[in-house]
Structure 1
Amino acid sequence: MGSSESDETLETYGAEIGAGSRVREWMLIEGDRVLIAVVLSIAVFFLLLFFHGVGIVSFVNPNSVTRVASGMIAGTFSLVTLVVSINQLILSQEFASAGKAQERLEAVVEFRDDIADETDVSASPVSPTRLLELLLASISQDADALADAVSDHDEEVRRSIVRYANTVRAETNRVDETLEHTSFGTFRAVFAATTYDEDWQLYVGTHFRNAYEDSLSPTAIDRLEDLLESLKLFHIAGEQFKTTYLQRELTRFSQLTVYAGVPSILSAIFIGLLYADITGPSINIAALPYVVIGLIVVVLSPLALLVSFILRTTTITRRTASTGPMLPQKGPEEGPFDVSYGDDW
């Protein structure tokens, strides 16, 4: 690997998480989902008011309004049924026979033992955030040890490895500061874990291990292996916590949708009853648009919840879709290393 390749900015090739305008990221990721649903509902309210004001929509035709109300009732029933099905699918993952439950427990215990061995503690923490903090401390310490181990190496090797170790340490400090002020169950903790780019660090570290195999001392190779192992453990822990959070998020969405479903259906029925009198609407014609628009917003509240929750879950899933250093969101030319078949580095 030439010096020009060593001078590449390794940290610029990480996962694209948290990119974009602040408003867009607040809508997609950071904002409270119920608040997002309220904002969407308010936007619909004022949009319908605007259309009514300019004469695009009207609420004086009983046949049109009652047909819309009937369609909204059917749509709400379908949405609630879909949400209940999603909730049942999530619950089905929690049901297990004794044998499967034992396998699951043994896998978790083995993973926690691996973390305890790697971090030199008697037992890994039970709190997810504390566990992630422990792994971050292990990664940072391994990066420091790696940088110290190459202090007497060739200049090109030393410079590349030290820059890599500094990048790893800077990333761990950034995520650790966020985790210190959060607790699991809040989205901020999960988001901090998913924004740590351990997949790319695994890729770069693996490349250095193979490219500099003949140049690194046995001690440096051991320190690099320790760092890669810590990164692997963090990846597994992050994926597990992300999955657990998304399960809880979808369960919360199902619960809120059921809560909103009842007033939604009642509001749609009430819209139809407003026009049940043969003489026309049963309330003052001046107040009619505001009442109907308000009821429509209530009817659409389950849909607003669906949009707000699905926006975040799909965005997280898309941006973190990877298995180790296999990043489908990266282009074929993205990366600091030019590697082809038979390349001997």
Structure 2
Amino acid sequence: MVGDETSTADEASASRRRPNALARFQRWVLVDGDRLVVAACISVGTFLFFLGLEWLGVISFANANSITRMASGMVAGTFSLVTLVVSINQLILSQEFTSAGAAEDRLEGVESFRSEVAETIGDPVAPASPARILEELFVSIHEGATALEDETDTLEGDVREDVRQYVRAVESDMERTQEILSGSGTETFGAVSVAVKYDASRHLYTARRLGQRHEGAFSQSAREALDRIVADLELFTVAREHIKTVYLQRELTRFSQLTILTGVPAITSALLIGFLYAGRTGAVIVLPALPWVVSGLLAVVFVPLALLTTYILRTATITRRTVSIGPLVLESESESTPDRRAPDPDSR
């Protein structure tokens, strides 16, 4: 009977953890989806939107004056967007122009970080892949949590329950993140996606509060296991910030390249819309074909804006969810793990 109740509770917890279709779609649009695919969906949606409005009789493509004014505005807007993106690209490039001394300091910082990772995971050389670095750190955190769980029999009362809840919360997050890492290969984005999901700030804060509030109740081995978890979480936070910075620089650079490449076709399409209505008697093509042709050209014009939307959505989401460093817990950072959070010793 008790086993059935436990099984039912586990199934209910699993169902709560399983995101619904709307949440999965939202996450795909904001973070997980390929930016080119999302931008293509926006452009196709623009084509269908204008075509649908014309079919419903809400808009018309017959007025040459209004269409040409719109085309001139789109040309100016696309030029402004491309100029803005070039400015962003120059800002990114300015961060890469460093002296030999600054470059040496940056290299020493990275080598120091990699040496600390290698020492933590017990390997002479830290992995080169960002995803594998996080995977090894997760293994170390899991080993620390297992060692702490083995020491719960030496604890009493509320202390034992707090520690068990904390270990369950750590292992619950670990299972989800390892599933993502196992399917991410060596991609940098896979590592960034894990960093967004893993609630390191809350786990770090809770571990420190557990150690502070129950200092006298911990045995020496339990204290060492908790200190190991804290050290591993701190190293994970440093790794997250380093990987996130490298990834965002690469993403913004790629976004700049794509915007420049699509800017020329977008401006050309806007000009073509104006030329379609440059005939002496109005449009130079037959009226039934105008909605299809103009809607298609409008979809091409919207491509740079669609790229801007998709890349800003992803970079802003990643930055917002990993904005804090260390045990500073913000509610927005816990959105990815609402089903089971680490216990807060302050609530007792």
For the criterion TM > 0.5, the same-fold answer is yes
**Residues 125-176 of structure 1: CA deviation (Å, up to 9, x unaligned):** 1221111111111101111111223322224322321331232123223312
**Equivalent position SS for 2:293:** helix
Q: 1:292 corresponds to which residue? A: 294
Residue 218 of structure 1: how far off its partner (Å): 2.1
**Residues 64-106 of structure 1: CA deviation (Å, up to 9, x unaligned):** 1111111000000010111111111112222211111111111
Q: Does 1:77 align with 2:79?
A: yes
Q: 2:205 corresponds to which residue? A: 203
Which residue, 327, 330, 342 being the options, matches 1:328? 330
User: TM-score normalised to the size of structure 2?
Assistant: 0.87
**Equivalent position SS for 1:21:** helix
Which residue, 107, 115, 118 being the options, matches 2:117? 115
CA contact (8 A) 1:319 1:329 kept: no
CA distance in 1, matches of 2:186, 2:311: 18
**Equivalent position SS for 1:181:** helix
CA contact (8 A) 1:203 1:325 kept: yes
CA distance in 1, matches of 2:244, 2:279: 53
CA contact (8 A) 2:35 2:311 kept: yes
Residue 338 of structure 1: how far off its partner (Å): 6.8
What amino acid is aligned across from residue 237 of structure 2 in structure 1? H
CA contact (8 A) 1:136 1:172 kept: yes
Residue 308 of structure 1: how far off its partner (Å): 1.5
Q: 1:221 corresponds to which residue? A: 223
Q: 1:66 corresponds to which residue? A: 68
Q: 2:174 corresponds to which residue? A: 172
**Equivalent position SS for 1:201:** helix
Q: 2:30 corresponds to which residue? A: 28
For structure 2, list consecutive stretches of 5 or more residues without a partner in the other structure.
1-12, 334-340
Residue 188 of structure 1: how far off its partner (Å): 3.2
CA distance in 2, matches of 1:58, 1:310: 33
Which stretch shows the higher mean deviation, 224-233 or 92-101?
92-101
Q: 1:261 corresponds to which residue? A: 263
CA contact (8 A) 2:131 2:190 kept: no
Which residue, 150, 153, 156 being the options, matches 1:151? 153
CA distance in 2, matches of 1:289, 1:156: 70
**Equivalent position SS for 1:180:** helix
What amino acid is aligned across from residue 227 of structure 1 in structure 2? I
Q: 1:7 corresponds to which residue? A: none
CA contact (8 A) 2:130 2:188 kept: no
Residue 339 of structure 1: how far off its partner (Å): 4.3
**Equivalent position SS for 1:214:** helix
Q: 1:318 corresponds to which residue? A: 320
Q: Sequence identity, in percent?
A: 47
Which stretch shows the higher mean deviation, 37-46 or 173-182?
173-182
Which stretch shows the higher mean deviation, 134-143 or 84-93?
84-93
CA distance in 2, matches of 1:97, 1:149: 51
What amino acid is aligned across from residue 293 of structure 2 in structure 1? V
CA contact (8 A) 2:130 2:243 kept: yes
What amino acid is aligned across from residue 77 of structure 2 in structure 1? G
CA distance in 2, matches of 1:294, 1:95: 41
CA contact (8 A) 1:139 1:169 kept: no
CA contact (8 A) 1:264 1:299 kept: yes
What amino acid is aligned across from residue 197 of structure 1 in structure 2? D
**Residues 37-57 of structure 1: CA deviation (Å, up to 9, x unaligned):** 111111111211122123222
Residue 210 of structure 1: how far off its partner (Å): 0.2
**Aligned-residue RMSD, C-alpha:** 2.3
Which residue, 135, 138, 143 being the options, matches 1:136? 138
Residue 186 of structure 1: how far off its partner (Å): 5.2
**Equivalent position SS for 2:201:** helix
User: TM-score normalised to the size of structure 1?
Assistant: 0.87
Q: 2:306 corresponds to which residue? A: 304
Q: 1:3 corresponds to which residue? A: none
Equivalent residues, number: 324
Residue 323 of structure 1: how far off its partner (Å): 1.7
Higher helix content, 1 or 2 = 2
**Equivalent position SS for 1:316:** helix
For structure 1, list consecutive stretches of 5 or more residues without a partner in the other structure.
1-11
CA contact (8 A) 2:165 2:343 kept: no
